[in-house]
Amino acid sequence: MPAELVVPHFRQATHYHPGRIKAIRLGVIHVGVTPESITAAEGMVDFAASPGASIASFHLAADPDSLARGVHDWDTAFGAPGANADGLHMEQAGQVMDHAGWTTPLSLKMIREQTARGVKSWHDLYGIPLVHLSLAQVGDGKTKGFCSHWDVTKGIPAAGGTHTDPDNGAVPGYPWDVVFTAADQHPSLPPATHKNPFNHLDDLVRWTQWALGIPVDGKPGAETKAALAALRKRNHIDPALSYPDPKSIAVLSQITH
């Protein structure tokens, strides 16, 4: 797995699926229906990570001064029915869903500085073109690009989604041109300083050994068990939980070397 955009605030969402189910194809933009305060991104992430969170999650959240992360790019978020297996999802702070609402100075600041930075990372890392897909392209299951939650609801009706964010499909609605122009001007991510060579769904033991920094042989022997137990103890994970549990996966997923 490649490196992902590292942001200051990460809390693993309560509900997500470890690993990717399909290759990444879509970048899906949402609105979190929350005021555009400078703590909104952190607040959305913390809410999705709370024990009583509804079954909904997203990779990144944007507010006017920062991005925060709730799910790693290499895991599957529950962002929109029909676009979870092959999608990356970004919530944005905001309460209105019309063109006027998205083009206030504060919204434009968030879109240019934060939303566009996340979009650029997905473009760089996964080759998602900076284009807004048509409904037919969203629904064809193969064209790569960006779309809204509304586009997923309308383009993949069989999935049964009902959400219409961020713009109810209005034209003009969400200012895609602003996102893509700004994304194009953001610097590319620096080259990865580490590469996890293992997909942890396909090869859990090797991935675990790689993250623990012990010899990778794919066999869960005594050294692997001891290193894993020590890591779990350091992170106060209930030893009665059988591995792989979500908290251990979250801790291991943050290891870089």
Tell the smallest beta-carbon distance from residue 49 to Zn ion (Å). Answer: 18
Pick from 217, 218, 243, 219: which is nearest to 230 by CA?
243
Stretch that binds Zn ion, among 44-52, 144-152, 193-201, 236-244 (CB under 5 A): 144-152
Cis peptide before 215 (omega within 30 of 0): no
Residue with Cβ nearer Zn ion (46 or 223): 46
Q: Which of residues 1-60 bind Zn ion (CB under 5 A)?
A: 30
Tell the smallest beta-carbon distance from residue 59 to Zn ion (Å). Answer: 13
Q: Which of 86, 151, 165, 167 binds Zn ion (CB under 5 A)?
A: 165
Answer yes or no whether residue 154 interacts with Zn ion by CB under 5 A. Answer: no
Pick from 82, 36, 40, 81: which is nearest to 61 by CA?
40
- The structure tokens 């106060």 sit at 236
Q: Give the separation between CA 218 and CA 212, rounded to whole angstroms.
A: 13
Q: Which of 154, 163, 186, 247 binds Zn ion (CB under 5 A)?
A: 163
Residue with Cβ nearer Zn ion (78 or 198): 78
Residue with Cβ nearer Zn ion (17 or 163): 163
Please provide the DSSP assignment of 34-63 as one string: B---TTHHHHHHHHHTSTT--S---SEEEE
> Angle, nearest 10°, between helix axes 204-212 and 222-234?
60
Q: Which of 69, 149, 200, 206 binds Zn ion (CB under 5 A)?
A: 149
Do residues 152 and 82 lie in contact, with contact meaning Cβ atoms separated by under 8 Å? Answer: yes
Tell the smallest beta-carbon distance from residue 165 to Zn ion (Å). Answer: 4
The binding site for Zn ion (CB under 5 A) comprises: 30, 149, 163, 165
